[in-house]
């Protein structure tokens, strides 16, 4: 696997570089210096794309999936994409939702790791199947369908796909973790 950039290829806008349009787009999204500043201050360099992307990502974060389930999907996707920025941000979110250190370690180990509840393993398996083969197998789909309604079933591949897009982008742009955001070792 190729090394990730250790410095930004496209740096986040500094406070001095923010123009009125960037300030408007970032208003209410993130506070400068916060634990998620660099992703938004980098992507806002493409204002038209940022304006369209932000509501979609926001909808997935407030969608129909239970928050803990969504975070398991995102964490597994970030891990599989080797996206340390995304991983760290969602470790923080996952912890706020009750995921503990053992859960986080098991995400790294995958769906076959001992200690998963069966449905949690199914979520990780769905993320892996999407990552590896671009679709969810019939067996995994059936297990998801035992618990989820149609809207939730639609969201599963949308969440994983969206976080692939974000992971690929952050890895390629070299967006660096902010101070206090854990990496793969934390």
Q: What is the pLDDT of residues 85-96, one digit of tens each?
A: 999 999 999 999
The larger pLDDT score, comparing residue 66 to residue 32, is at 66
Give the mean pLDDT of the chain.
95
Virtual CA dihedral for 129, 107, 29, 177, nearest 10 degrees? -110
Mean pLDDT, residues 162-173 taken together: 98
State yes or no: pLDDT of 34 exceeds 90: no
Transcribe 158-176 into DSSP letters: HHHHHHHHHHHHHHHHTPP
**58-102 tens-digit pLDDT:** 999 999 999 999 999 999 999 999 999 999 999 999 999 999 999
DSSP 16: G
Tell me the two tokens of residue 56: 């979609």
pLDDT at residue 31, as a whole number? 66
Tell me the two tokens of residue 128: 């892996």
Q: Which residues of 27-56 are buried (b: 16+ CB within 10 A; e: fewer)?
A: eeebeeeeebbbbbbbbbeeeeebeebbee
Mean pLDDT, residues 113-118 taken together: 97
pLDDT at residue 1, as a whole number? 77
Q: How far is CA 155 from CA 2, 129, 140, 160, in A?
A: 30, 15, 15, 8
Mean pLDDT, residues 20-43 taken together: 85
Tell me the two tokens of residue 132: 């590896």
State yes or no: pLDDT of 136 exceeds 70: yes
State yes or no: pLDDT of 30 exceeds 80: no
The sign of the CA dihedral 65, 95, 84, 13 is positive
State yes or no: pLDDT of 107 exceeds 80: yes
pLDDT at residue 2, as a whole number? 83
């Amino acid at each position: 696997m190729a090394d990730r950039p250790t410095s930004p290829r496209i740096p986040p806008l500094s406070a001095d570089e923010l123009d009125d349009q960037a300030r408007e787009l970032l208003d209410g999204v993130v506070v400068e210096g916060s634990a998620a500043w660099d992703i938004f201050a980098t992507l806002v360099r493409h204002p038209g794309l940022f304006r369209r992307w932000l509501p979609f990502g926001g909808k997935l974060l407030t969608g129909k999936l239970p928050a803990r389930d969504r975070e398991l999907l995102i964490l597994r996707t970030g891990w599989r994409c080797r996206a340390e920025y995304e991983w760290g941000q969602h470790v923080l979110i996952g912890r706020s939702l009750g995921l503990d250190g053992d859960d986080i370690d098991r995400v790294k180990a995958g769906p076959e790791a001992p200690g998963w509840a069966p449905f949690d393993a199914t979520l990780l398996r769905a993320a892996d199947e999407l990552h590896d083969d671009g679709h969810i197998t019939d067996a995994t789909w059936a297990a998801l369908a035992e618990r989820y309604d149609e809207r939730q079933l639609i969201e599963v591949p949308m969440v994983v796909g969206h976080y692939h897009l974000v992971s690929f982008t952050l890895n390629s742009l070299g967006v660096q973790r902010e101070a206090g955001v854990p990496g793969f070792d934390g």
